[in-house]
Structure 1
Amino acid sequence: MSRSVSPLALFGGTFDPIHIGHLSVAWEASELLDAEVRLMPANVPPHRPPPTASATQRVDMLRAALRGQSRLALDTRELERSGPSYTIDTLEELRREYGERPLVLLLGADAFAGLRSWHRWRELFDVTHLGVINRPGIEACVPVELERAVAARRTDDPGVIRSMPAGKVIELAVTPLEVSATRIRELLATGRDPRYLLPAGLFDDAALLEPYRT
């Protein structure tokens, strides 16, 4: 592929709950890459405890959060599979679906630093680019072995990402918003109202945040 094509970027997570930090990162990545970004909630995340809210509840929150704009979308395919949500399986499915369209897996710098622990991690580069989310002033320590594996794949040109389907690593500097889903759950559990940490749509229906109230 030599012509420039709008990439499809994937931003995964438990979104338990979706908060403004998630949305800000996804929005800025979309602008930096000129990409469609899909938020993809995980079913059974292999590296984390099970979510507090059910899959249906998290989807309802995501739909409420994403109303009124078209840059970010929801993709529920991982919730429709049983068992652990392995990223490589999802990306291979998307590659079959979208042919040669560029795919970009968005992940934080800390997650990227731990990439070697991922299931079939080397095969990721066969099906996707990696967009590494960096917050200015925060450095993640990338293991020497991983850096050697990706050094030749690095680019700082979004045009390169748009011109080929997979195989590159690009760093994306975004606005630092230190918002913690754990802290939000704690606030809700004690009856407090994290009004400006969550998207406004989540307050339109009191039932949306009920899973976190005790």
Structure 2
Amino acid sequence: MNTSGANVVGILGGTFDPVHRGHVALAEAALAGLPLSEVLWLPSGSPGHRAPPVASARDRLAMLRLATEGNARYRIDAGELESSEPTYTVHTLTRLRAQLGNAQPLVLLLGSDSFLSLPGWLRWRELFDLAHIAVASRPGAIPGDGGPSPELSAEIARRSARGEQLAASAAGRVARFDMPPVDISASAVRSGLAAGRDLGDLLPAAVLAYIRTQQLYLKETPKN
């Protein structure tokens, strides 16, 4: 939904290990419910808050390209994939802000669980200076519904906005967008693949074909 004519960039980061239908559903819901011109997919190299990815950077990028090809409103920024340094969201947004300029509206797209964990992120309050945050939630819910910490509740109270308002400034607001429940995690996908289960309903067909061809995720791996 972009009726404003503004160039508003949604940012969807993750290890995408592998990219699955839940990731795609979140991106599609954001495009439908927010004034975004595009979704910028940002595969991370070595995330600072979780175990290293199982698949190689090359394979994760290949799968992400397969999952997003054919959609003109999807773009991939692979700038951090080969980094050996831990990747934190505040560093990613600082880099993007420097590249795109101070006037560019940026919207960090998060699931509700990730949003609730925000106070545990590195320099988390600085994120609001660098981007808006849009939270995927069930229809009828509000950002943070289900138990935000007092400090996060305070940020929600002073930053809450409607989705269409995100085009009016570069950063600093919190909005929500509706997303039907999708119960998929990358760790569960990897476990299912290791067990030989048919996961055609969880993975884009081209991604599943790539995984089978490259023989990825054949062993049980830790959750991350």
Settle same-fold status: TM greater than 0.5. yes
Instruction: Report the alpha carbon displacement of residue 207 of structure 1 after superposing the two structures with TM.
Output: 5.1
Instruction: Report the alpha carbon displacement of residue 78 of structure 1 after superposing the two structures with TM.
Output: 1.9
What is the SS of the residue equivalent to 2:183? Answer: coil
| Structure 2 counterpart of 1:59, one-letter code | L
Instruction: Report the alpha carbon displacement of residue 137 of structure 1 after superposing the two structures with TM.
Output: 7.5
For 2:222, the equivalent position in structure 1 comes to none
Instruction: Report the alpha carbon displacement of residue 159 of structure 1 after superposing the two structures with TM.
Output: 2.7
Q: What is the rounded CA distance, in whole Å, between the counterparts of 2:51 and 2:213 in structure 1? A: 21
1:202 and 2:203 are equivalent in the alignment: no
Q: What is the rounded CA distance, in whole Å, between the counterparts of 1:208 and 1:11 in structure 2? A: 27
Instruction: Report the alpha carbon displacement of residue 56 of structure 1 after superposing the two structures with TM.
Output: 1.0
Q: What is the rounded CA distance, in whole Å, between the counterparts of 2:15 and 2:214 in structure 1? A: 15
Aligned to 1:52, which of 51, 54, 57?
54
Q: Return closer, same or farther for 1:203/1:34 CA change in 2, 3 Å cut-off.
A: same
For 2:90, the equivalent position in structure 1 comes to 88
8 Å Cα contact 2:10/2:106 also seen in 1: yes
Structure 1: stretches of 5+ with no match in the other structure: none
8 Å Cα contact 1:40/1:76 also seen in 2: yes
For 1:150, the equivalent position in structure 2 comes to 156
Q: What is the rounded CA distance, in whole Å, between the counterparts of 1:173 and 1:94 in structure 2? A: 26
Structure 2: stretches of 5+ with no match in the other structure: 220-224
1:111 and 2:111 are equivalent in the alignment: no
8 Å Cα contact 1:13/1:42 also seen in 2: yes
**Greater share of helix residues, 1 or 2?**
1
Q: What is the rounded CA distance, in whole Å, between the counterparts of 1:65 and 1:102 in structure 2? A: 25
Q: Return closer, same or farther for 1:208/1:128 CA change in 2, 3 Å cut-off.
A: farther
For 1:162, the equivalent position in structure 2 comes to 167
For 1:27, the equivalent position in structure 2 comes to 28
What is the SS of the residue equivalent to 2:215? Answer: helix
What is the SS of the residue equivalent to 1:78? Answer: coil
8 Å Cα contact 1:67/1:201 also seen in 2: no
How many percent of aligned residue pairs carry the same amino acid? Answer: 41
Instruction: Report the alpha carbon displacement of residue 208 of structure 1 after superposing the two structures with TM.
Output: 5.4
| Structure 1 counterpart of 2:30, one-letter code | A
What is the SS of the residue equivalent to 1:53? Answer: coil
Q: What is the rounded CA distance, in whole Å, between the counterparts of 1:184 and 1:31 in structure 2? A: 26
Q: What is the rounded CA distance, in whole Å, between the counterparts of 1:152 and 1:137 in structure 2? A: 20
Residue range with higher mean Cα deviation, 183-192 or 59-68 = 183-192
8 Å Cα contact 1:27/1:71 also seen in 2: no
8 Å Cα contact 2:110/2:136 also seen in 1: yes
For 1:97, the equivalent position in structure 2 comes to 99
For 1:134, the equivalent position in structure 2 comes to 137
Instruction: Report the alpha carbon displacement of residue 206 of structure 1 after superposing the two structures with TM.
Output: 5.3
Q: What is the rounded CA distance, in whole Å, between the counterparts of 1:186 and 1:194 in structure 2? A: 11
Per-residue CA distance 1:156-180 (angstroms, 9 max, x = gap)? 2x23200100010001121111112
Aligned length: 211
For 2:74, the equivalent position in structure 1 comes to 72
Please list every run of at least 4 consecutive aligned residues from structure 1 whose deviation after the TM superposition is greater than 6 angstroms.
none
| Structure 2 counterpart of 1:20, one-letter code | R
Q: Return closer, same or farther for 1:112/1:208 CA change in 2, 3 Å cut-off.
A: farther
Aligned to 1:179, which of 177, 184, 195?
184
What is the SS of the residue equivalent to 1:51? Answer: coil
Instruction: Report the alpha carbon displacement of residue 4 of structure 1 after superposing the two structures with TM.
Output: 5.9
For 1:37, the equivalent position in structure 2 comes to 39
Instruction: Report the alpha carbon displacement of residue 136 of structure 1 after superposing the two structures with TM.
Output: 4.0
